Structure formats: structure tokens, C-alpha cells
Chains A and B, each alone.
Chain A
Amino acid sequence: DAGVIQSPRHEVTEMGQEVTLRCKPISGHNSLFWYRQTMMRGLELLIYFNNNVPIDDSGMPEDRFSAKMPNASFSTLKIQPSEPRDSAVYFCASLFSGANVLTFGAGSRLTVL
């Protein structure tokens, strides 16, 4: 298995632009997570899905952030409009529900100028 696949690996954009991050979970995994990592706040859980349904989005910072999972093999995290404080590494992770073992993608490093 190729593992959790994220794209892009790096994104540099200007304040106000829309950013879309993409994730393909491990085949057979039915829970998908989006985390944000910064030096100050560590690994924050933004949102997670189970069987493509959003279960807990309490970590989404504000309305500028949205996430979708249209099918079992694809999810997006969108920021519109982006701000410099959104600069971080965004990790997608997946697991098979009940097994608990969480596997991370390589991350998307976002820089908003």
C-alpha cells in the first residue's frame, strides 16, 4: 500500500487566496483525520470523518476552513480566504475504525505571505 497520500507537499500563496489541500487515505481505512501542526500549538485535530461523514469538526478554527469527503478515497481541506496565521503543516491521517492505529501522510506545508 502506498500509505496516506497528500498533495501538494508545499504551497506558498498570498493572503486572501484560496488554498485546497488533498488527501487519499489508505485503502480500507474508514476514518480520516485532518491535523494542523505549529510550533506553538503542536498537533491540533481540525476535523475527522467516519465512513465519509464528518463526525467532529470542533477543531476547525473558523468559517474560513471547510473540509469534505465525497468518497472513501478522497478528502479536501479548503481555506478561503487564507491568512498568514494559517501557515502550518497540515497532516492527513487515516485508520480502520476500531483498530485505532493512526497512519499519517507526509503533510502539506502551507506558507501564506
Chain B
Amino acid sequence: GENVEQHPSTLSVQEGDSAVIKCTYSDSASNYFPWYKQELGKRPQLIIDIRSNVGEKKDQRIAVTLNKTAKHFSLHITETQPEDSAVYFCAASIGDDKIIFGKGTRLHILP
């Protein structure tokens, strides 16, 4: 069925190091892949997205890569800072509008 798998569930990195979160999806027709950041007690907020006609997208310290053949995509955060600590969700579109989410990765930035 429709599924988005996300790994790892928890990730701790030293401040200044890079963090990578990986997701796989099951529906080969998926064509839109957003990433959301959720701080404690807040709503998920879009931080970056990528469409299937693009292999990579960057926005300052954040980048997303997509491998359509393998049906996986990744979030890369470089030069991590304390404010990057949050839960990150990947997601994939199913059909026209339906968007389903992975289970989330809790990222801890260690001082």
C-alpha cells in the first residue's frame, strides 16, 4: 500500500557537523516530496520541497536529493546549529493532492 519510511527515528550530531535523514516511498507515481520541521509544541512547517523532475535542491544549509529509480530521497543539513533541533518529517504525494508522511526523525544538536 501507500507508505513512506523514514530513518533514523532519532539522530544526534555535534554542533557544526552535518545531519542526513533518509526516506523511501512506495508509489512510483509520487511526484512531490516536501520536508517539514516541527519544533516542540508547534505545528509542522515546510522547510524545503522537491519535485520529481529535479534531482537536487538547495536552500542555504539545507539540501534535498531525490533518486526516482530507487524511490528514495534525503534531507541534508550542513553546519548544524542549536536551532536545528526539532522533529523532521518527510512526505510524498499520492495522486493529485494526497500527502502522506514518514514517522519523523528527532534531531538533537549537541553542544
Q: Quick one: which of A31-51 are within 8 Å of B by CB? A: 31, 33, 35, 41-43, 45, 48, 50
Residue of B nearest to A6 (CB): B43
**Most chain B CB atoms below 10 A, which of A35, A50, A98, A100:** A100
- The answer to whether B96 touches A97, judged by C-beta atoms less than 8 angstroms apart, is yes
Task: Spot the interface stretch: B21-29, B59-67, B71-79, B101-109.
Answer: B101-109
For the residues of A in contact with B, the DSSP-based class is: strand
> How large, as a class, is the contact surface on chain A?
20 to 34
A102 touches B102 (CB 8 A): no
B residues adjacent to A (C-beta < 8 A): 32, 34, 42-46, 49, 89, 91, 93, 96-104
Q: What is A's interface to B at a CB cutoff of 8 Å?
A: 31, 33, 35, 41-43, 45, 48, 50, 55-56, 91, 95, 97-98, 100-107
